[in-house]
Amino acid sequence: MSLFSNIDFLPKTASQTIHRLKKIGILTYWDLLNYYPFRIQFYPKPQLISKVVVQVNNENLFTNEFKLSNQITIRGEITKILNVSTKNGRHVQKATLKDESGQMNLIWFNQYYLLSLIKPGSLIQISGKLDQIRGTRSVLVESYELLNNLSDVGIHTGGLIPVYSEKNGLSSRLIREKIYHLLKAYIDEIYDYLPQEIINKYQLIDLRHAISNIHTPIDEHNFELAKHRLAFDEIFILQLKSKIQREQRKRLKVKTQMVETNEIIDKLNQFEEELPFKLTHDQKIAVGELVLDLKKNEPMNRLLQGEVGSGKTVVALIAAYFSYLNGKKTLILAPTEILCQQHFTTLTKLLKNKLKILTLTGSNKTKSGDIKDADIIIGTTALIFKKKYPNVGLIVIDEQHKFGVVQRAKLKNIAQHPHLLTMTATPIPRTVLLTLYGQLDVSRIKELPQERIKTKSFLVPYDKREKAYEWIRKKITTEHIQVFIVCPLIDQSDVETMKDIKAVSREFETLKTQVFPKFRLSLLHGKMKSAEKKRVMTEFTQGTIDILVSTPVVEVGIDIPNAAIIIIESSDRYGLAQLHQLRGRVGRGSIQSYCLLFSENRNPTTQNRLKVFTSTVNGFELAEYDLKNRGAGEIFGTKQHGIPHLKIADFSDFDLVEKTQEAADYVMSRPSLIKSPEITKMLNNLSTDLYSQD
C-alpha cells in the first residue's frame, strides 16, 4: 500500500463507505488526504474534573472562544449511563463520568444508540459545554470518543478538531477518523513537487507539513499556513495546466494561412464604411487583434468579452468577412435557435447580400449543396455537430459559457485546427480569467455604443407590485414600448424542466387574464416548437406583442431595441452577473429603459445584494461583488459546465492568483521543470477538465 493506493484498500472500512467516497470523487488515499476540512473546531485540552470551573482555562490558546462558550474536555470512566424519556417524547441520555479528581454529569439528546456503545466501565473522552441544569453542573456533550487507554490522544475531542462537509451520507466524524489514520501511516510518503525556489520565493510551507496541518493542526497559525500552501497549489496547478494546453495548441498549424492583401484591406475598409454605424474604439481594437490572429499559421484561440449590447456580433462578422475574402467559410454557433435566427437577420442586414448565409435550425431542411455554397453557416450545436463542413477557416462560438466541455471537444471533428473565436458577455473577473482561461487570448469591449442611455434599475418593494404593474400599463399605452417578464427556472439549472414550463405557463395565464388583460401577451420557452418560437420572436420584433413572458433560458443575446422594460421575477435566485445579462435585454435602443426586480426573499443580505445590482450598470463590478460574497459559481450560473469547484483557494484572492501566475510562468520557462516527474504527477492528479478545444 502506498499514498496513491486505490481507495478500495482503505483498512477497516465498510464497502458502503468506500462506495460513497468514490461517488464524491475520492478514488485514492491521496484524494482522501486532499479532502480538506471547511473549518476547525477548537476544544480545550483535557483537564481534571476538580479543576473544571465556569472560568477561563489559561492554558487554552483560544481563550476568548472558551470564555464565551464554556467548553471543556474531560476524560475518565463511565460509572452510569441511562436513557430518560422526557414529557415531550424526546430522549435524553444521562451518564456519569469519573476521573481521579471527581465526577461529572454528561448529557446527550436523542442519541439512544449510545447506550449500546458506552457502558459502565467504558473509558471515554468528551468535549462539550459546561452548564448548570437544575442546580447541578452538567456537560452537554458535543463530541465524544471511546479510549483504550486513558493516555490515548483524542481524534474527535480535546484540541483542534477538523470539521468536514458531510456529503453523500459520509459523516464528518467518519471522514476525520479515516484521514487521521491515513495521515499517520503515510505522512512520510508525501514529498513536495513544487520546485524549491518557488517554495522559498513565496515563503510556502512544505507539502507534508501542509497536509498534516490542514487536518491535524498544531495551532491556528500553522492551520493558516497550511491553507495558504494548499490554496497556492490549487490555483497554480490549474494555471500551469492551462498554460501547457496553450503551448500545445500553439504548435498546431492551420490548414491554409490567411493573408491580408491590399485588395483585402480595401474591401475591409469599405465594409466598415458601409456599416450603419461607426465602430467604437474598442470594437476597432478587437477587429485588429482578430485579423492579426487570423493571419498567423497557428490556430487562434481568442475570447471576445464585452458587455451585453457592446456590439460583439459585428466584430465577429468582420472576422468572418476576412475569412471569406480568403476563401474560407465561417461557422457561427449559438446556444438557442432564437439567437441563430437573430444572427441571421442581423448579418443579412449588415452584409447586404455580399455573402451567402445559411441557418441550420431544426425547422429548415438543408441540402449539402447549400452547405457547400454558404459562406457563413449559423446553427445551434446540436445541428452543427451532425454534419461535415468543407473548408472552414473560422468557428465563432457565441455566449460560449452556455456550451459544455464535451460539445467544445467535438469542434475538432468539424475542421482541422480552425481559428476559434469565443464570445461572452459574462464579466469574468481577472482572477478567474487568469486561472481558468489562461489558454485563451482575450479581447475586451468595454464601452457601449455612444447613443445608449443607461438602464434604470429598481428593487420593487413587495407591497408595490400592483403599483409597478399600473406604471407599466401606462408606459405601454402612452409610449408604445415593449416589456419582458422573466420567470425563473424552479431548480435553478441551465435547462428547462416540465415543471418550469408549467410554472411559466401558469404565470403567463395569470398575467394575461388578470394583470394585463388589455394588452397583447405571448409566452416563450425553450420547449416550444421552433416554428412557434420563430413566430413569437418575429411578432415581438415587429411590435405586435406588448409583453413577452419567458423563462431565462431563451433570452440570451436577444436584441429588441423597442423593449424598454424588463421585469425579473424571483431575482434573488440569480447571480448578479446573470441578472446583468438579463438586464442587457433592454437599453438597446435610444429610449430610456428600466429593469424591475421582484423578490419575495426579505433576507437583508439578499436585499442588499439586489440593491448593489440596482446601483451600478458595470458588469465587472457586479461580478467582483458576487465573487467576493458568493463565489465563482454565481458568475456563470449555478450549474455551470467546466468551472471547477475550488476546494480551498478563492478566486477573490487577487494577490494569490498573481503570485501563482508568476510561479507558473517560471515553471513554463524551464522545460526541465515542466517535464520533471514531480510536476507531471501533480498535473495527472488534477482531474478537472479545463476549457480546451483540443
What does the binding site for ligand ADP look like in residue numbers (CB under 6 A)? 277-280, 283, 306, 308-314, 425, 449, 557, 559, 588
587 forms part of the interface with Mg ion (CB under 5 A): no
Quote the CA–CA distance of 309 and 319 in Å, as a whole number.
Answer: 18
**Partner whose footprint covers residue 279, from Mg ion, ligand ADP, none (CB < 5 to 8 Å by kind):** ligand ADP
Q: Looking at 381-440, which runs of residues are DSSP E strands? A: 392-397, 419-424
- Part of the chain binding Mg ion (CB under 5 A), chosen from 380-388, 517-525, 557-565, 583-591: 557-565
| Residue 278 or 611 having the CB closest to ligand ADP | 278
> Is the four-CA dihedral 200, 203, 204, 208 of positive or negative sign?
positive
Q: How far is the CB of 461 from Mg ion (least distance, A)?
A: 33
Taking the least distance from each CB to Mg ion, the nearer of 575 and 584 is: 584
The Cα angle at residue 490 between residues 489 and 495, in degrees rounded to 5: 50
Among 306, 379, 557, 587, binds Mg ion (CB under 5 A): 557
Pick the closer one to Mg ion by CB: 282 or 653: 282
Among candidate residues 295, 590, 315, the one with its CA nearest the CA of residue 445: 315
Q: CA triplet 504, 505, 511: central angle to 5 degrees?
A: 85
Interhelix angle 312-325/281-294, rounded to 10 degrees, is 30
Work out how close the CB of 345 gets to Mg ion at its nearest, in angstroms, rounded to a whole number. Answer: 13
* Residue the block writes with cell 474604439: 281
Minimum distance, C-beta of residue 452 to ligand ADP, in the bound complex (Å): 8
Which C-beta is closer to Mg ion: that of 158 or that of 557?
557
Mask for 502-541, x = binds Mg ion (CB under 5 A): ----------------------------------------
- In the complex with ligand ADP, the residue whose CB is nearer, 209 or 588, is 588
Select 76 or 557, whichever has its Cβ closest to Mg ion.
Answer: 557
Determine the Cα angle at 336 with ends 335 and 337, to 5°: 140
Distance from C-alpha of 606 to C-alpha of 571, rounded to nearest angstrom:
10
Contacted entry of ligand ADP, Mg ion, none for residue 566, CB cut-off 5 to 8 Å set by kind: none
The CA distance from 168 to 157, in Å, is: 24
Q: Which does 309 bind (CB under 5 to 8 A by kind): ligand ADP, Mg ion, none?
A: ligand ADP
Q: How far is the C-alpha of 23 from the C-alpha of 3, rounded, in Å?
A: 20
Nearer to ligand ADP, 142 or 272 (CB): 272
Interatomic CA distance for residues 453 and 419, integer angstroms: 35
- Residue 47 is which amino acid? Q
Residue 467 binding target from Mg ion, ligand ADP, none, CB below 5 to 8 Å by type: none
Nearer to Mg ion, 397 or 504 (CB): 397
Q: Which whole-number Å values give the CA distances from 12 to 17, 26, 228, in the listed order?
A: 10, 17, 32
Query: Side by side, which strands form the sheet with 301-306?
Result: 357-360, 376-380, 329-334, 392-397, 419-424, 301-306, 441-445
Select 66 or 321, whichever has its Cβ closest to ligand ADP.
Answer: 321
Q: Which stretch binds Mg ion (CB under 5 A): 36-44, 553-561, 582-590, 608-616?
A: 553-561
Q: Which is nearer to ligand ADP, 37 or 311 (CB)?
A: 311
Q: How far is the CB of 617 from ligand ADP (least distance, A)?
A: 14
- Strand pairing report for 482-486 and 301-306: unpaired
Closest separation between CB of residue 300 and ligand ADP, Å?
Answer: 19
Burial call 216-239: b when 16+ CB within 10 Å, e when fewer? bbeeeebbebbbbbbbbbbbbbbb
Minimum gap (Å) between residue 503 Cβ and Mg ion: 27
CB of 6 to ligand ADP, least distance (A): 48
| Least distance in angstroms from the C-beta of 280 to ligand ADP | 5
End-to-end CA distance of the chain: 36
> Please, what is the angle between helix 576-583 and helix 619-630, to 10°?
160
CA distance 223 to 608: 33
> Which of 188/451 has CB closer to ligand ADP?
451
Q: Which is nearer to Mg ion, 555 or 569 (CB)?
A: 555
| CA neighbours closer than 13 Å in the CB half-sphere of residue 632 | 22
Q: How far is the CB of 312 from Mg ion (least distance, A)?
A: 5
Which one of 26-34, 172-180, 550-558, 656-664 is the stretch in contact with Mg ion (CB under 5 A)?
A: 550-558
Give the nearest residue (CB) to ligand ADP. Answer: 311
Shortest distance, position 243 Cβ to ligand ADP, whole Å: 28
583, HSE (Cβ side, Cα atoms, 13 Å): 31
Size of the site for Mg ion (CB under 5 A): 1
Instruction: Report the residue number, 242 or 305, with the smaller CB distance to Mg ion.
Output: 305
308 binds, among ligand ADP, Mg ion, none (CB under 5 to 8 A by kind): ligand ADP
By Cβ distance, which residue is nearest to Mg ion? 557
Q: Helix or strand or coil: residue 512? A: helix
By a kind-dependent CB cut-off of 5 to 8 A, residue 102 interacts, out of Mg ion, ligand ADP, none, with none
Grid coordinates given for 349: 442586414
- Which of the choices ligand ADP, Mg ion, none does residue 314 contact, using the CB cut-off of 5 to 8 A by kind? ligand ADP
With H, G, I as helix, E, B as strand and everything else as coil, classify residue 494: coil
393 contact, one of Mg ion, ligand ADP, none, CB 5-8 Å limit per kind: none
Name the burial class of residue 276, with classes exposed (0-12), middle (13-18) and buried (19+) by CB atoms within 10 angstroms of its CB. exposed
**Nearest one of 421, 416, 375, 414 to 394, comparing CA atoms:** 421
| d(C-alpha 67, C-alpha 391), whole Å | 74
Q: Are 242 and 435 in contact (CB under 8 A)?
A: yes
Task: Using the minimum distance from each CB to ligand ADP, give the nearer residue, 299 or 306.
Answer: 306
* Residues at the site binding Mg ion, with contacts judged by CB under 5 A: 557
